[in-house]
Amino acid sequence: MESLRLVRNIFIRIFVIGALFGVLFAIATLAGWNLWIPLAARLFHTDTATVTSVTLQFFVGLRFFLWFCVLTPALAMHWTVKAETRSAR
């Protein structure tokens, strides 16, 4: 039971740290959009629509990872620990 709590706490902390990094990435992206997007398009020899698409894919992938790969198991473990502690009383 203690190892389940440890893994649950690790997953929850990974989610919180990942969400904070995601917000920081979003703020940095929006703040430097007019400067960095044309520069990235020139650097990678592509157009701004492609760079925009890749940026959007990054944030969608980050959201998928945080919600379904990190938060979902953390919530499942949390409910399991709560149910086990209730039944142990």
The pLDDT value recorded for residue 89 is 73
Domain holding 7, by residue range, is: 2-88
Mean pLDDT (10-residue bins), the chain, 89 residues: 88 94 94 90 91 93 93 91 84
Structural domains of the chain, count = 1
pTM above 0.85, yes or no: no
Contact of 37 with 51, CB cutoff 8 Å: yes
The pLDDT value recorded for residue 26 is 94
